[in-house]
Amino acid sequence: MASAAHTILALLLSSSCAALAQAADVAVTLYADAGYPPYSYEKNGKPAGLYYEIVSTAVKRMQGYKVEIQPVPWKRGMSLLKSGNGFALYPPYHNTRDEPWTWPYSLPLFEEKVVVICRKDVLAAKARKRWPEDFYGLTIGNNAGFIVGGESFEAASRDGRLKVEEGKDVATNLVKLGLKRIDCYINDRIAIQWTLKQLKAEGRYDEGHAHAELGEALVIATEQGFLGYTERDNGRYTYKTDFVKQFDSIIYQMKRNGEIDTIARNFFKTH
């Protein structure tokens, strides 16, 4: 009888300890770009994409945290970091000059190639080999809040040598390109190819029209996506140092053992 009582007591203590440990986990919200497929997007109200697969795998292995990933429009996510009301957002490129409120950055999660894609009639009009000089006089599409064209591109936009028109996401910009509302569009190659395939499958883009045929002009940058943290929290997130250290340690191991490559390969094979 005493043995049974001891067993029950031990089980109760074990359950209590587990409950206390779970209750002690810090609730953390990470924000994700809702409009950047296939890397990061919202699907049925939930986060999806390659970066979600990588980040969600990593945070499940962290100790002491209960992490929620919430998709938001990119400009809102950046605004949350800028005000200190958001802890972290993925996947910014490393850009402390234009986004000084983002610091630190995690280890890089994945490498992207930023390209210029244009209608074929625009490419046929003249050689488009120098960025951005050979694109002066054109209207260039860009995702709202994205800073991917480089300093010379930003200067040319300010000086009026070319025009920049923002759309909320990749799909919006590609449709605008097909409708001749913009001449070219800048973004990651895979994001463009993946979204264009989706649009065609949904009957939302028809390359049968001459003006809707698209071609890649050139690669303008190789960038890496990160988990970026706010530097404007004034100590609000007391766990930041530990979170950053744990997350980076896990990402490092995932890179070292080839797990991130495997996640990417499987993701693109099934999407």
- Measuring CA to CA, which residue among 214, 127, 232 is closest to residue 205? 214
- Cis geometry, peptide bond prior to residue 38 (ω within 30 degrees of 0): yes
Model confidence pLDDT, tens digit, residues 56-90? 999 999 999 999 999 999 999 999 999 999 999 99
Assigned architecture for domain 112-223 = 3-Layer(aba) Sandwich (3.40)
Tell me if domain 20-109+226-270 and domain 112-223 are identical in fold. Answer: yes
**Using CA atoms, how far apart are residues 219 and 233, in angstroms rounded to an integer?**
36
Asked if 83 contacts 102 with a C-beta cutoff of 8 angstroms, the reply is no
The pLDDT assigned to 22 comes to 54
Q: Which residues contact 149 (CB under 8 A, 6 or more apart)?
A: 132, 140, 142, 157, 164, 186, 220
The pLDDT assigned to 218 comes to 96
Is a pLDDT exceeding 80 seen at residue 6?
no
The pLDDT assigned to 206 comes to 80
Decide which of 3.40.190.10, 3.10.180.10, 3.40.640.10, 3.40.50.720 is the CATH code for 20-109+226-270: 3.40.190.10
Residue position matching structure tokens 């609730």: 27
Q: Is 206 helix (H, G, I), strand (E, B) or coil?
A: coil
For the chain, the structural domain boundaries read 20-109+226-270, 112-223
Structure tokens at 156: 């040319």
Q: Confidence band (pLDDT; 50, 70, 90) for 270?
A: confident
Give CA angle at 79 (225, 174), nearest 5°: 55
**Using CA atoms, how far apart are residues 124 and 211, in angstroms rounded to an integer?**
11
β-sheet with 35-36: strand ranges across = 35-36, 40-43, 46-48
The pLDDT assigned to 18 comes to 47
Model confidence pLDDT, tens digit, residues 189-237? 999 999 999 999 998 898 766 567 999 999 999 999 999 999 999 999 9
Model confidence pLDDT, tens digit, residues 100-147? 999 999 999 999 999 999 999 999 999 999 999 999 999 999 999 999
- Measuring CA to CA, which residue among 219, 3, 6 is closest to residue 117? 219
Q: What's the predicted TM-score (pTM) here?
A: 0.82
The pLDDT assigned to 72 comes to 97
Beta strands 184-188 and 139-143: pairing type? Answer: parallel
